[in-house]
Amino acid sequence: MAPPTRPILLGITLSCLAAISTAEAKERLILAIGGEPEQGFDPLLGWGQYGTPLFQSTLLSRGKDLAPQPELATEWSLSEDRLTWTLTLREDARFADGISLTAEDVAYTFNTAAEAGGRADLSALAEASAIDDQTVTLRLHAPRITFIDQLMTLGIVPHAERDSGYNEQYGRHPLGSGPYQLVEWQEGEQLIVERNPYFYGPAPAFDRLIFLFTGEDATLSAAHAGQVDIASIPPALAANVPEHMQRVTMESVDNRGILFPMQPATGEHATSGAPIGNDVTADPAIRQAINLAVDRDTLVEVALHGFGRPAFGPADGLPWSSDEERIDAPDLAQANELLDSAGWKLRDDGLRYKDGLPARFRLTYPSSDTTRQLLAEVSTEMVRPLGIEMQPTGRHWDEIQRESVHQDAIMFGFGSHSPQEVYYLFHSQHGGNGFYNSGLYANTEVDTHLDAAQAAESVETANQYWRAAQWDGTTGYGVRGDSSWAWLVNLEHVYFANTCLDVGELGVAPHGHGWPITANLLEWRWTCD
């Protein structure tokens, strides 16, 4: 999802962890790679949707090419009518308490997640059923091409009726069949996990992991003090590598961009109470002009210090995104022409007006995020010569959701291994669905393409519809169409890692929730004696 997990300042003394010696670090790692999930480690509420669930196993996993691979399921098939998935489970999977994981647990997980209404979208699921201990079926209401993504992201929890089964406190005390089990969680400070002795896969090289929940400055200080083995670092701080560490970069589809409120202000409010609409950004000429004015290459250099690439859509470089959806270079002349034609007249104060309305609006970003702040401030200067005044404003995520999300332009971040996120971002039925489509974008032709993609008979056919939703030659959500966003950059995820730590071959990361660098944790090795 768009907002990051809440930033947390370290509430414990790091020096107590520094006592772990280099020799012991062969068995223990200290990681500062992101915040903690507010809802805990509960897959039914969204844990693992943007990365590996760590404590739990999924039915399938993603290969480095994003193709499905066996995990809990050794075989899987989809019926000819594309309504029933049948999966055969491995026989050696156990939860961390030693009890076997069976098809009853899988069926329970999917049925309960569908009722929970969390981030795992199981609205297409009619019923999950255990045929025997090792066989489960997942029956759908209608064909949905992206349903397979839930097989790769939804961690399996124990049935509520068994010992240590799922309950409302599960997120604080997770029990799964993944490579690690939770030992202690001091909320706001640290998380301690140890190997699951019953894990069916190869034993992780490290017996214990300690995750520190630190803010950006505290993380950098801990890295320089030698108190962490791997740390997530914002691009602006990535040049200052400690002597005992190496910089590790991970390619990603993690993007940042400006979401525009698409509706004019009418005085209406969402069910959350947030006011709806913005008369300036509702004008397509404003949105198109901003897209033409921002210099994405410069944003990569200035805001990301070169650790990224320009972005033009929510899924650049992935098969469901169009390679033709791009702007080769900023074009202020065309942007000014668009604004003139739309009736936005430049006055002596350097600002454009239309029917007395100034071309001015807030560009809101989460105040804890230095990268988004830089992107907001630099892009503001880029569009200022057009006579458009964006006002960078840092606010807490709670305040953004309560007051700003439907009336301010928002510096959001998304990025997924699944085209399902495109559906959430641009289908009208998801308008106001949390932070998805919070600009309340609606285009019936785009909806038609998105629905056709979900109902497609093959991934290849679906990809054609996903790309058509972006631009079909007449309309679309992208820069050649409605310009509902000004997508700006795709980030590289930057880490400082101890020179003795080999993190193996990293894949392509999604958005930064869920500690995506740990996806290949079983490949990590300590290389020093």
How would you write 181-249 as a 3-class SS string? EEEEEECCCEEEEEECCCCCCCCCCCCEEEEECCCHHHHHHHHHCCCCCEEEECHHHCCCCCCCEEEEE
CA–CA separation, 370 and 236 (whole Å): 8
What is the side-by-side order of every strand in the sheet holding 84-89?
73-78, 84-89, 135-140, 125-132
Please compute the mean of the pLDDT values over residues 411-428 and round it to a whole number: 95
* Neighbour tally for 454: CB within 10 Å: 20
Provide, rounded to the nearest whole percent, the portion of the chain with pLDDT above 90. 83
Contact call for residues 487 and 255 (beta carbons, < 8 A): yes
Under DSSP, is residue 100 helix (H, G, I), strand (E, B) or coil?
Answer: strand
Which pLDDT score, from 0 to 100, does residue 354 have?
98
Which pLDDT score, from 0 to 100, does residue 13 have?
41
Whole-prediction pTM: 0.90
pLDDT band at 192; cut points 50, 70, 90: very high
Contact call for residues 513 and 503 (beta carbons, < 8 A): no
Contact call for residues 310 and 296 (beta carbons, < 8 A): yes
Contact call for residues 190 and 9 (beta carbons, < 8 A): no
Contact call for residues 103 and 150 (beta carbons, < 8 A): no
Architecture of domain 1-36+187-250+493-529 in CATH? 3-Layer(aba) Sandwich (3.40)
Return the higher-pLDDT residue of 513 and 460.
Answer: 460
Which pLDDT score, from 0 to 100, does residue 58 have?
97
Domains 1-36+187-250+493-529 and 255-491 share a fold: no
pLDDT band at 447; cut points 50, 70, 90: very high
Which pLDDT score, from 0 to 100, does residue 87 have?
98
Please give the distance of CA 490 from its chain centroid, rounded to a whole number.
12
DSSP E strands, 355-436: 357-358, 360-366, 389-395, 409-414
How confident is the prediction for the chain on average, in pLDDT?
Answer: 92
CA–CA separation, 363 and 488 (whole Å): 14
Task: Classify the C-alpha dihedral 425-429-431-433 as positive or negative.
Answer: negative
- Residue burial 344-372, b: 16+ Cβ < 10 Å; e: rest: beeeeeebbbbeeebbebbbbbbbbbbbb
Residue type at position 231 = A
Which pLDDT score, from 0 to 100, does residue 31 have?
97
Please compute the mean of the pLDDT values over residues 280-305 and round it to a whole number: 97
Which pLDDT score, from 0 to 100, does residue 8 have?
35
Q: Domain extents for the chain?
A: 1-36+187-250+493-529, 48-159, 255-491
pLDDT in tens, 236-266: 889 999 999 999 999 999 999 999 999 999 8
| pLDDT of residue 325 exceeding 90 | yes
pLDDT in tens, 3-14: 443 333 344 444
255-491 domain in CATH 3.10.105.10?
yes
- Residue burial 22-44, b: 16+ Cβ < 10 Å; e: rest: eeebbebbbbbbbbbbeebbbbb
Residue type at position 470 = Q
Please compute the mean of the pLDDT values over residues 295-302 and round it to a whole number: 97
Which pLDDT score, from 0 to 100, does residue 307 have?
96
- Pick the closest to residue 62 from 176, 136, 172, 154 (CA basis): 154
48-159 domain in CATH 3.40.190.10?
yes
| pLDDT of residue 512 exceeding 80 | no
What is the side-by-side order of every strand in the sheet holding 345-346?
345-346, 352-354, 357-358
| pLDDT of residue 279 exceeding 70 | yes
DSSP E strands, 287-343: 308-310
